[in-house]
């Protein structure tokens, strides 16, 4: 179950938010080989005046930004998948949001299977009992 936290600069825009969520989910499922029905996305918005890079706000830079953090179970994604994911997410956000500051970023968080789960069941337990769940 990938958990995604997507932080977008600027004011809340429902159309932009839905587009970003759709693409983040799609790219996560396609490249990292995850299931969309298990993919959760939380979106946050931060005003450009409150987002700083090198001591200057995005408003001062005249740029937009995003930060996407995705939590996955350790050892379920290869280095090649992670590399492709980084590039695909950045390129997709550049197309949707535009005018990105180059410090916009993607953080892939590898979490131990025994430390991550949903419905009160760890991913390790699901793996050990996969016949019961799949």
CB contact at 8 A, 39 and 74: no
pLDDT at 130 over 90: no
The stretch 61-76 carries a mean pLDDT of 96
Confidence of residue 50 (pLDDT cuts 50, 70, 90): very high
The per-residue pLDDT for 6 is 98
The stretch 28-45 carries a mean pLDDT of 96
Give φ, ψ of 40 to 5 degrees.
-110, 135
Residue 99: name the closest of 69, 59, 68 by CA.
59
Domain ranges for the chain: 3-133
Report how far apart, in Å, the C-alpha atoms of 53 and of each of 17, 34, 46, 92, 122 are: 22, 32, 13, 21, 37
pLDDT at 24 over 70: yes
Out of 54-58, 60-64, 69-73, 127-131, which region has the weakest mean confidence (pLDDT)? 127-131
Higher pLDDT, 131 or 10: 10
pLDDT at 126 over 90: no
Q: Using one digit for the tens of pLDDT, what is the confidence trace for 77-123?
A: 999 999 999 999 999 999 999 999 999 999 999 999 999 888 898 88
The stretch 41-56 carries a mean pLDDT of 98
Beta strand ranges found along the chain (DSSP E) = 3-9, 40-46, 52-53, 56-57, 66-73, 105-111, 117-118, 121-122
CATH code for the structural domain at 3-133: 3.30.429.10
Q: 89 Cβ partners below 8 Å, 6+ apart? A: 24, 27, 68, 106
- Please give the Cα distance from 94 to 8 (Å, whole number): 12
The per-residue pLDDT for 127 is 86
pLDDT at 134 over 70: no
Average pLDDT, the chain: 95
């Amino acid at each position: 179950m990938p958990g995604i936290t997507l932080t977008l600069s600027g004011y809340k825009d429902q159309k932009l938010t839905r587009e970003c969520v759709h693409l983040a989910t799609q790219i996560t499922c396609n490249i990292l080989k995850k299931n969309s029905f298990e993919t959760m996305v939380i979106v946050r918005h931060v005003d450009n005046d409150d987002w700083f890079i090198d001591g200057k706000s995005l408003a001062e830079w005249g740029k937009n930004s995003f930060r996407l953090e995705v939590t996955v179970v350790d050892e379920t994604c290869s280095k090649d998948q992670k590399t492709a994911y980084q590039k695909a997410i950045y390129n997709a956000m550049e197309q949707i949001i535009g005018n990105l500051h180059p410090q916009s970023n993607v953080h892939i968080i590898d979490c131990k299977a025994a430390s991550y789960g949903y419905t009160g069941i760890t991913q390790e337990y699901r793996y050990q009992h996969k016949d019961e769940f799949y």
